[in-house]
């Protein structure tokens, strides 16, 4: 191992054989590493060796480079110039159509090969050339699986970081939009890009992001989930403090609000920081539909959030401790349904919740054709057979179904899942201590939620701390012509549009035209 | 960096410190003396509360980085400062007992009659300590959630009980006489006392000094607006006699409120919202006691004092709540004397003495200069 590290640190020499041997020793005998030797310049006979990774490098580019070298290099007068200058001329005159650079360290050359580039070793030249030839098969841009919309762009991120940055660049053609690169992972050397708009981004945020990213010392990053877990503010919290999205439009909107985005190669999920809790309840459609439609559906989602968090707990609490709070006709209906159920309400709710989670998980993991069969069996078992067998009451089935539907109405899957998890302590407290338990656990959750920050920003802002100017885009989605200013967090260029953009007839010219 | 909160959060904290007891327990106490004029008593009390609040703010403005006890130690020396801290601990000991009376009797009388009192006290203790360990900033944000809960609760009660209100119950105006109504307002004064004593301790942690007085008095006024509808509704819906009959009269109002057939009982909705403000009150009492205790023992950090303070407060609260007669005795007779003698005399004395004695700059002040 130490030997390999020493080899990686070594520099290339003027000796061609030594350089090739060095590369072979470092790269081993891996079958996907291709070595191709050619002779260029018929008068000088310069041996050259190409190293690249099969599957990562674009064969056409390599073929073209070899052709260029073999057929056109003779135009350069090698006898006069010597091979050192000849290679320099090759770089500037013959391969100028592709991105090409020189390196003198073995580590850089190896890294280039494993990233899909091609290394060219030439005799008599103490450096090696790196020809940019990355070209592997990638998934095409498709509609995001987890964040579909009725109205809005259908493009989603892919596993290619460059495709992903391009998708955002296409939406913001501003030279102030910067992508800063770094690599994380001792073995994976995963490309990570941090995007932000200079002049809008919150001061200090980019430095903070880089500081946290540089702190990561790990062998491999296989998905942005790794990074999310390694840089979040409150690792023990059930709340998700870093937003992940598959939607380029969401990332573009976040950047325009003064936030930063973290792109990770091989992951279609881009991270957005800082994040506020309320963003998980907002969907992209809210901004593309008319404002009152957006507001209405946003409110539905707030109700869904409340139901998802509290519906089973409130039901358990009412039926276990505070039956007098239920209107008499309703109480009698529930009681008749529960007459044959042998379990206490808390147990019944827990059984149902766990069964539902089981079905959800099984439906997710199973192959799609079997998944539909699974859902039929599940719904029959839970919806009908369990009730008929007297294991659960029909009312409990309704409550759990409403809760499940509500949890799926939350647009962000990670947030929806964390809310689903929080249901359990609330339910257990409600079922054991009644209103006292519900109030106490709810309060503990509130206190914890209030203490959470995301990259320095209070998680529940702009509700608490209360920011009046940001209320235009929290519970309500005000019309675009009213949202002149960017959110409080953005700094610098605070206005996203000029004032008084409300459309309508030109009042200066006497209002709307008459039929005459 | 020292914790800083905004003036808006200060106002939220004041509202939360006053509301839970003032809407029910205090109204019941006042109704026994002032009958249908409890709302007038509240107006008197609000004026007094505003004056004491203003006085407290003016004192702190003299040395904006020092709270009342620290200011007293600058004026009179270290031991007087420690004595003031001791008074503050005693004050919040009583305040915590009244908070526990409000919290426990809400639960015990209306929802969980078989629940052991100790369990209720322990739950309040756990939530309180957890909150205080997160610091004033988090408590302040939680208080804003409490304000939202208060507004929701008020709107719901207003919708559910306005149609039941009989304005004739409020007549005749000043039925029991101005002086009697004024005297009865002392019960409400104790609520403002808790708010002013809290402000005297946390004001140095509030950001914009220039609007301290506006935030302090504004907090009192907003609290009065939030609480104000309760005496009117309680008298108008329940009648003064019934209001005075109950320890927690607001729950009786909530019990009679209804919206249609399916929301016929409000108590649970009310307590669900109410619990947030009540527990914020619990946390602030523990925080203020811990701060006073740390000053008493010369500690720079309040954290070592949080659990001991919370245990002492809870033990006393438990002892009071365990016997209802003792609890009512405390509320009716002991607490007004206890609270007002400290909460009024302390700012008045410090304000007047501060006019004549100019504090000498401490070594740290000289360093700053």
The string of pLDDT tens digits covering residues A391-448 is 889 999 999 999 999 998 998 888 888 888 999 999 999 999 999 999 999 999 999 9
Tally A–B CB contacts below 8 A. 84
For A52, which DSSP code?
E
Evaluate whether residue A152 is within a structural domain: no
Same domain, A445 and A319: yes
Is residue A119 located within the same domain as residue A236? no
In a domain, B222, yes or no: yes
With CB atoms and an 8 Å threshold, state whether A447 touches B130.
Answer: yes
Element (H, E) at A183: strand A177-184
Report which secondary-structure segment, H or E, holds B271: helix B267-296
- Residues of chain A contacting B122 with CB distance shorter than 8 Å: none
The H-assigned helical ranges of A157-261 are 161-169, 205-214, 224-231, 248-256
Nearest-Cα distance to chain B for A399, in Å, is 17
Tell which of A215, A247, A275 closes a domain.
Answer: A275
Task: Tell me, yes or no, whether B140 lies in a domain.
Answer: yes
In this prediction, residues B308-314 reach a mean pLDDT of: 97
Q: Which of A327, A435, A465 sits opposite B264 (nearest CB)?
A: A327
B117: buried, middle or exposed (CB in 10 Å: 19+, 13-18, 0-12)? middle
In terms of domains, do A304 and A397 share one? yes
The predicted complex's ipTM stands at 0.91
Q: Tell me, yes or no, whether A122 and A177 share the same domain.
A: no
* pLDDT, tens only, A439-458: 999 999 999 999 999 998 99
- What value does the mean pLDDT of chain A take? 87
Cα–Cα distance, B275 to B11 (Å, whole number): 19
Residues of B in contact with A440 (CB under 8 A): 123, 126-127, 279
Output DSSP code: residue A382: I
Would you say residue A300 has pLDDT above 60? yes
Work out the angle at residue A65's Cα, subtended by the Cα atoms of residues A77 and A25, and round it to the nearest 5 degrees.
100
Q: Is B366 among the domain residues?
A: no
Residue A321 has its nearest CB partner, among B112, B123, B130, at: B112
Judge whether B184 lies within some domain. Answer: yes
- Say whether A446 and B8 touch across the interface (CB within 8 A): no
Instruction: Look at residue A145 and tell me if it is in a domain.
Output: no
For A162, counting Cβ atoms within 10 Å of its Cβ (0-12 exposed, 13-18 middle, 19+ buried), the class is middle
Higher pLDDT, A217 or A380: A217
Query: Do A302 and A450 share a domain, yes or no?
Result: yes
Measure in Å the smallest separation between the Cα of B266 and chain A Cα atoms: 8
Q: Is there a domain that residue A486 lies in?
A: no
Domain for residue B1, yes or no?
Answer: no
Instruction: Quickly state the pLDDT bin for B1 (edges 50, 70, 90).
Output: very low
Q: Tell which of A458, A480, A495 closes a domain.
A: A458
Claim to verify: residue A261 and residue A304 sit in the same structural domain: no
Tokens 């078989």 belong to: B114
Q: Which residue has the tokens 């009679």?
A: B256
* Long-range contact pairs involving A299-304 (C-beta distance under 8 Å, separation at least 24): A299/A475, A300/A409, A301/A409, A301/A410, A301/A411, A302/A475, A303/A406, A304/A405, A304/A406, A304/A407, A304/A409, A304/A410
A479 located within any domain: no
A189 in a structural domain:
yes
Q: Which domain holds residue A9?
A: 2-131
B122 to chain A, any CB pair closer than 8 A? The answer is no
Task: For residues A398 and A333, state if they share a domain.
Answer: yes
| pLDDT tens digits for range A165-183 | 999 999 999 999 999 999 9
Any residues with CB less than 8 A from the CB of B366 and at least 6 apart, and which?
Answer: none
Residue-number span of the structural domain to which B138 is assigned:
7-358
- Interchain proximity A464–B268, CB inside 8 Å: no
A136 lies in a domain?
Answer: no
Q: Is B171 a domain residue?
A: yes
**Which residues on chain B are in Cβ contact (under 8 Å) with A321?**
111-112
Alpha-carbon distance values, B240 to B73, B256, B325 (Å): 46, 15, 22
Q: Which residues 429-448 on chain A approach chain B with CB closer than 8 angstroms? A: 433-440, 442-444, 446-447
CATH at B261? 1.20.1740.10
Distance from CA of B276 to the nearest CA of A (A): 7
User: Which of A321, A327, A447 has the CB atom closest to B142's CB atom?
Assistant: A447
Q: Do both A301 and A262 map to the same domain?
A: no
Tokens of A235: 């690792």
Whole-number pLDDT of residue B362: 59
**Residues A8 and A111 placed together within one structural domain of the fold:** yes
Report the number of distinct structural domains present in chain B. 1
Question: Does residue B74 lie in a domain region?
Answer: yes
Tell me the residues of chain A between 147 and 176 that have a Cβ less than 8 Å away from chain B: none
Residue A305 covered by a domain: yes
Query: Which residue is it, tokens 């609490």?
Result: A317
Q: How confident is the model at residue B335 (pLDDT cuts 50, 70, 90)?
A: very high
Residue B364 covered by a domain = no
| Residue A360 resides in a domain | yes
Question: Which of A333, A437, A448, A464 to mutate to probe the B interface, most B CBs <10 Å?
Answer: A464
The model's pLDDT over A102-127, given as tens digits with 9 standing for 90+, comes to 888 899 999 999 989 999 998 878 88
| Chain A residues whose beta carbon lies within 8 Å of the beta carbon of residue B11 | none
pLDDT the model gives residue B170: 85
Look at chain A and report how many structural domains it folds into.
Answer: 3
Between B122 and A499, residue with greater pLDDT: B122
Residue A357 backbone class (left: φ over 0; alpha: ψ -120 to 50; beta: rest)? alpha
A209-A210-A214-A220 Cα dihedral, nearest 10 degrees: 70
């Amino acid at each position: 191992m130490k030997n390999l590290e020493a080899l990686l640190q070594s520099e290339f020499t003027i000796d061609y054989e030594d350089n090739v041997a060095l590369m072979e020793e470092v790269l081993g005998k891996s079958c996907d590493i291709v070595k191709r030797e050619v002779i260029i310049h018929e008068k000088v006979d310069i041996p050259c060796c190409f190293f690249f990774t099969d599957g990562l490098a674009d064969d056409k580019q390599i073929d073209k480079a070899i052709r260029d070298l073999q057929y056109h290099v003779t135009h350069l007068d090698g006898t006069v110039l010597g091979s050192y200058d000849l290679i320099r001329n090759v770089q500037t005159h013959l391969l100028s159509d592709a991105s090409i650079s020189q390196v003198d360290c073995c580590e850089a050359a190896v890294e280039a090969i494993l990233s899909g580039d091609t290394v060219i070793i030439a005799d008599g030249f103490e450096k090696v050339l790196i020809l940019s030839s990355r070209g592997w098969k990638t998934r095409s841009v498709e509609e995001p699986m987890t964040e579909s919309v009725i109205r809005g762009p259908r493009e989603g991120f892919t596993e290619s970081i460059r495709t992903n940055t391009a998708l955002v660049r296409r939406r913001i053609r501003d030279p102030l939009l910067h992508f800063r690169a770094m690599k994380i992972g001792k073995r994976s050397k995963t490309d990570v890009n941090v995007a932000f708009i200079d002049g809008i981004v919150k001061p200090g945020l980019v430095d903070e992001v880089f500081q946290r990213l540089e702190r990561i010392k790990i062998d491999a990053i296989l998905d942005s989930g790794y990074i999310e877990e390694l840089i979040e503010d409150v690792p023990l919290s059930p709340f998700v403090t870093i937003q992940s999205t598959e939607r380029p439009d969401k990332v573009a909107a976040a950047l325009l609000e003064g936030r930063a985005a973290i792109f990770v190669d091989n992951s279609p999920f881009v991270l957005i920081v800082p994040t506020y809790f309320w963003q998980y309840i907002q969907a992209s459609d809210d901004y593309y539909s008319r404002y009152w439609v957006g507001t209405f559906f946003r409110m539905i989602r707030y109700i869904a959030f409340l139901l998802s968090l509290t519906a089973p707990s409130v039901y358990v609490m009412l039926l276990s401790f505070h039956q007098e709070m239920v209107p008499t006709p309703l109480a009698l209906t529930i009681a008749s349904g529960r007459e044959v159920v042998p379990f206490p309400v808390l147990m019944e709710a827990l059984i149902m919740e766990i069964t539902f989670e089981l079905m959800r998980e099984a439906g997710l993991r199973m192959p799609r054709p079997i998944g539909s069969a699974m859902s039929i069996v599940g719904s029959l078992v839970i919806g009908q057979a369990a009730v008929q067998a007297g294991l659960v009451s029909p009312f409990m089935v309704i409550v759990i179904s409403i809760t499940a539907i509500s949890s799926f109405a939350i647009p962000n899957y990670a947030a929806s899942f964390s809310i689903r998890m929080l249901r359990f302590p609330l339910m257990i407290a409600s079922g054991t201590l009644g209103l006292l338990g519900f109030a106490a656990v709810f309060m503990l959750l509130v206190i914890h939620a209030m203490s959470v920050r995301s990259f320095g920003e209070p998680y529940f802002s702009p509700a608490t701390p209360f920011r009046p100017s940001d209320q235009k885009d929290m519970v309500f989605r005000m019309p675009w012509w009213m949202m002149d200013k960017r959110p409080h967090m953005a700094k610098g260029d605070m206005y996203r549009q000029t004032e008084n953009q409300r459309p309508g007839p030109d009042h200066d010219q006497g209002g709307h035209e008459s039929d005459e | 960096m020292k914790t800083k909160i905004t003036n808006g959060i200060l106002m939220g904290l004041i509202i939360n410190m006053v509301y839970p007891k003032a809407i029910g327990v205090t109204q019941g106490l006042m109704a026994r003396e002032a009958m249908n004029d409890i709302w007038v008593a509240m107006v008197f009390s609000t004026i007094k509360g505003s004056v004491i609040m203003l006085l407290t703010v003016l004192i702190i403005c003299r040395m904006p980085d020092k709270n009342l006890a620290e200011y007293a130690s600058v004026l009179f020396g270290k031991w007087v400062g420690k004595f003031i801290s001791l008074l503050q601990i005693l004050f919040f000991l009583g305040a915590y007992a009244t908070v526990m009376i409000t919290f426990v009797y809400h639960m015990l009388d209306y929802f969980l009659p078989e629940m052991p009192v100790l369990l209720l006290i322990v739950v309040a203790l756990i939530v309180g300590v957890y909150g205080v360990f997160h610091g004033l900033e988090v408590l302040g944000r939680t208080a804003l959630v409490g304000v939202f809960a208060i507004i929701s609760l008020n709107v719901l009660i207003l919708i559910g009980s306005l149609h039941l209100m009989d304005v004739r119950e409020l007549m005749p105006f000043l039925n029991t006489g101005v002086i009697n109504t004024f005297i009865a307002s002392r019960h409400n004064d104790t609520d403002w006392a808790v708010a002013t004593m809290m402000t005297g301790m946390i004001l140095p942690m509030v950001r914009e000094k220039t609007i301290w007085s506006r935030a302090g008095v504004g907090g009192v006024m907003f609290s009065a607006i939030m609480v104000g509808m309760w005496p009117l509704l309680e008298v108008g819906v329940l009648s003064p006699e019934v209001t005075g009959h109950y320890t927690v009269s607001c729950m009786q109002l909530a019990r009679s409120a209804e919206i249609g057939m399916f929301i016929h009982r409000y108590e649970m909705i009310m307590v669900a919202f109410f619990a947030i403000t009540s527990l914020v009150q619990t946390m602030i009492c523990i925080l203020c006691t811990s701060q006073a205790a740390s000053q008493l023992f010369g500690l720079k950090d309040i954290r070592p004092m949080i659990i001991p303070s919370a245990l002492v407060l809870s033990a006393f609260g438990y002892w009071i709540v365990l016997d209802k007669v003792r609890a009512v005795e405390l509320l009716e007779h002991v607490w007004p004397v206890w609270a007002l003698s400290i909460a009024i005399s302390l700012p008045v004395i410090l304000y007047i003495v501060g006019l004549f004695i100019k504090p000498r700059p401490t070594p740290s002040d000289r360093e700053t200069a």
